[in-house]
Amino acid sequence: MAARQQASAKLEALEVRNIRNIEALGLDPSPGTNVICGANGQGKTSLLEAIYLVATTRSFRTHRLRETIRHGTDGGSAKARFEDMLGDREQVVGLTPTQRSVRVDGQRPASLAQYAVKTPVVVFHPGELALTMGPASGRRTLLNRIALFFDPTTHAVQHAYGEAMRARQRLLQVQGPQAQGLEAYERLMVEHGMRITRFRQDVAEKLANVARGVLDQATFGSLRLDARYVPGGSLDEQEECKRLVASRSQDCRRSSSTHGPHRDEFLLEINGASTRTDASQGQHRLLTLCLKIAEMVCVGQARGVNPILLLDDVSSELDAERTEAFFDLLGHRNEQVFLTTTRAEMLSVFERKMGETNVFWMKGGQIGGKPW
């Protein structure tokens, strides 16, 4: 892909305390490519997780943040100094088993969403293959994540929709389909649901257009991507209200809502065949990489700066030839990259494809100067 002349977010310094098997660690990365090399179980992925945590307030490995806290301690933290076209800032995330605290330059942000879009980060890890072969929830999360950078209020809209949906369901379960108050919750579901549908449709179109071009380039046109956003409800407000009323009895029996954006699907097909059922393992890997590159492009367009790229053990998913092909797809950009590997022999490939690399050797949750 052609390089985009656009500023990039940079991590200038990182301090990690009691995250996974990292007791205390400081890192001063280069603004270019940073390779974290070491044997399995030494903390390489945990280091990437800490970067992701301090940028987004979330983990890419678990929904339960207490699992990221080092065993036997009462809390963990990640502190980073980031730089982009808006200047330098310090971001801090602190964790206890029951709480999460965030600060930007010592101040509490207005919301977690406002914090999470300050420093754009895109991660690729082996679990990302679920994007093409897994359930629709993973693809909805991808659309939501990108939408957040275009409009941080989308997070609040999704929260409000979920609250209304759960309140309606509780009322159905307790008082049945004729309960007073159902209509009010259904109006809220439709109001917020329509907004969710609109922003997901917009993001799905942007993402599909970029991914389609990347796949076409990667396969010289031999594989064609068709991607369609399929709403889980009607696109007509009045029609959706009628559907919710008509589905009350069924929703009561099933203990879940039949219609709405929580049922949305982002369908992916290669050459007319569903990726979930018909794609080969190699096609899944390739399409996932294309989607992640498309995510990078979309987030960069939304935020105005290229995101930091975290690549967890890409070389274990791909052989040397495909690893080189992947970096060719990335193109010669100016993103800051952090990648992990267990394979020291891949260092020459990384340097050839990504330019000068800064290598950190990791063992026992510590950064050292020598190979293990």
Q: Are residues 36 and 163 in the same domain?
A: no
Nearest by Cα to 131 from 264, 21, 292: 292
Kindly state whether residues 32 and 105 are assigned to the same domain: yes
Same domain, 8 and 109: yes
Same-domain status, 298 and 364: no
In 3D space, the residue among 361, 141, 356 whose CA is nearest the CA of residue 264 turns out to be: 141
Average pLDDT by stretches of 10, the chain with 372 residues: 70 98 96 92 96 97 95 97 93 97 97 95 91 95 97 96 98 96 97 96 97 90 94 93 97 95 96 92 89 95 95 75 74 83 83 84 84 49
Read off the DSSP letter of residue 344. Answer: G
**Residues 223, 253 within the same domain:** yes
Q: Which of 304, 319, 347 is the endpoint of a domain?
A: 304
**Residue that has been written with the tokens 């590159």 in this structure:** 293
Q: Do 346 and 199 belong together in one domain?
A: no
Number of structural domains found in the chain: 2
CATH code of 226's domain: 1.20.1050.90
The verdict on residue 127 lying in a domain is no
Same domain flag for 280 and 267: yes
pLDDT value at residue 3? 44
User: Do 148 and 154 touch, CB atoms closer than 8 A?
Assistant: yes
Q: Is residue 255 within 8 Å of 262, Cβ to Cβ? A: no
The CATH number given to whatever domain includes residue 91 is 3.40.50.300
Whether 126 is in a domain gets the answer: no
Amino acid at the residue 201: Q
Q: Looking at the structure, tell me whether residues 106 and 139 fall in a common domain.
A: no
Beta bridge partners of 84: 87
Identify whether residues 220 and 312 lie together within a single domain: no
Whether residue 9 contacts residue 333, with contact meaning beta carbons closer than 8 Å, is answered with no
d(CA 45, CA 79): 17
DSSP tag of 105 = T
Q: How many CB atoms lie within 10 A of CB 352?
A: 11
Assigned token pair, 157: 């809209």
DSSP secondary structure of 167-235:
HHHHHHHHH-TT-TTHHHHHHHHHHHHHHHHHHHHHHHHHHHHHHHHHHHHHHTTSS-EEEEEE-SS-S
- Residue 341 — φ and ψ, nearest 5°? -160, 150
What residue type is 144 in one-letter code? N
Residue 229, beta-bridge partner list: 266
Last residue of a domain, one of 281, 304, 327: 304
Q: Quick one: 319 and 298 in the same domain?
A: no
Cα-flanking dihedrals φ and ψ of residue 274, to 5°? -60, 130
Which domain covers residue 230, as residue numbers?
A: 132-304
The verdict on residue 31 lying in a domain is yes
Q: Are strands 33-37 and 337-341 parallel, antiparallel or unpaired?
A: parallel
* Contact (Cβ atoms closer than 8 angstroms) between residue 27 and residue 13: yes
Clarify whether residues 341 and 241 are in a common domain.
no
CA 7 to CA 308: how far, in whole Å?
A: 11
Q: What is the 3-state secondary structure (H, E, C) of 35-78?
A: EEECCCCCCHHHHHHHHHHHHHCCCCCCCCHHHHECCCCCCEEE
Q: Minimal CA–CA distance to 305: which of 14, 26, 31, 28?
A: 31
Residue 125 lies in a domain: no
**Structural contact between residues 90 and 80, judged by C-beta atoms closer than 8 angstroms:** yes
* Single residue among 304, 337, 355 that ends a domain in this structure: 304
Phi then psi for residue 330, to 5 deg, are -60, -35
Helices (H), 221-317: 237-246, 248-254, 275-278, 281-303, 314-317
Same-domain status, 291 and 234: yes
- Residue 276, amino acid: R
